[in-house]
Amino acid sequence: MGNVLSAEMFKLRKEKVTLIIFLINLFLVSVFSLAIALITRFVGEELANDPDMVAMGMDVMFSQYSTYAPAGAFSLMYQFIAIYAAVFAGFFVCSEFETGTIRNTLSVGKSRSGYYLSKVITIFTASIILAVIGTAIYVGIEMLFFDFTPGDGYVVNLLLLIGGKFLVYLTYVSLFTMLAFVLRGIAATLGIAVGFAFLIELILHMILNAGFFEPVRFLQNIFPYHHVLQFNDVFLNGVSGNEITYLTSVAVCVVIIILTTVIGLFTFNKRDIK
């Protein structure tokens, strides 16, 4: 798999779509982060003059917004990374079905499983690089506008959050890579993946939160977005007392990653490549 993976990483660096997505991410995150900082700062100043909000401690929360910025970056930008993962899956998998690149690669004796896993690793690597850049920009801008005062256990909670973020992004990558190998069409893959990440799972998550659906609320666990919120909750409130929440989210993400990978590999291995 080593040679295939090296070729995929080289392709990732050289393809124009990588540069385009990088620049789009840089622009959107910068504008988005600045807008959030300015709006939050304005709201925070308004809250400082509201006795009721001050009594609830809301003024303190807004004055130290950068302390919570890593969770904010995760909640507000996870969709960007999910969509980028979908675009990478579409262009680096579906386009190669259409051009015959996959057929040519397999014809020289390369393993289908190795080829599939190299795609997952490459797309995940690109997604994590974009996530790190986006988070750094977001946190940096928030620190320019707000005080940073980490409390006890902050480093541990932050590391748990980072681990959770990586796991959620791998979940999206595994899911969308499977879709690309099953559907083989760029339009279908992007349509379903983007629709799911940007709209469907948010709507279904809100519906399941309604009191009427209490008996089936556990179905929220199938959505990566739900685990974004769960990992954020552990970061904001501390791991003590939230161990079950964190471990449950980790376990569910791992199960989704394994299932989607098995389905994708099974489909790829059983189909003829023309």
**Looking at the predicted structure, is the pLDDT value of residue 12 above 80?**
yes
**Do residues 157 and 235 make contact, with C-beta atoms less than 8 angstroms apart?**
yes
Average pLDDT for 159-169: 95
pLDDT over 70 for what percent of the chain?
Answer: 92
Least confidently predicted of 34-43, 113-122, 196-205, 241-250: 34-43
**Looking at the predicted structure, is the pLDDT value of residue 43 above 80?**
no
pTM: 0.90
How does pLDDT run across 85-104, given as a tens digit for each residue? 999 998 888 888 888 888 88
The per-residue pLDDT for 129 is 93
- Reduce the secondary structure of 4-42 to three states and give it as a string: HHHHHHHHHHHCHHHHHHHHHHHHHHHHHHHHHHHHHHH
Type of residue found at 258: I
The per-residue pLDDT for 270 is 84
Average pLDDT for 251-273: 92
* Residues ≥6 apart with Cβ < 8 Å to 253: 167, 168, 170, 171, 224, 227
Average pLDDT for 219-223: 89
Largest CA distance in the chain: 72
Question: Which among 125-129, 182-186, 219-223, 266-270 has the top mean pLDDT?
Answer: 125-129
Q: Six-digit token pair at 93?
A: 């998998």
Task: Kindly report the average pLDDT of the chain as a whole number.
Answer: 86
Gap between the Cα atoms of 192 and 180, Å rounded: 10
* Residues ≥6 apart with Cβ < 8 Å to 186: 90, 91, 94, 95, 98
- 112-151: b (≥16 Cβ within 10 Å) or e: beebbbbbbbbbbbbbbebbeebbebbbebbeebbeeeee
The number of residues in the chain equals: 274
pLDDT: which is higher, 11 or 31 = 31
Q: Which of 93, 101, 96, 97 is nearest to 126 (CA)?
A: 93
**Looking at the predicted structure, is the pLDDT value of residue 245 above 80?**
yes
Average pLDDT for 133-141: 93
pLDDT: which is higher, 53 or 226 = 226
**Looking at the predicted structure, is the pLDDT value of residue 53 above 70?**
no
The per-residue pLDDT for 208 is 85
The per-residue pLDDT for 185 is 87
Gap between the Cα atoms of 147 and 60, Å rounded: 10
**Do residues 178 and 261 make contact, with C-beta atoms less than 8 angstroms apart?**
yes
Q: Which of 176, 168, 174, 179 is nearest to 261 (CA)?
A: 174
Gap between the Cα atoms of 19 and 34, Å rounded: 23
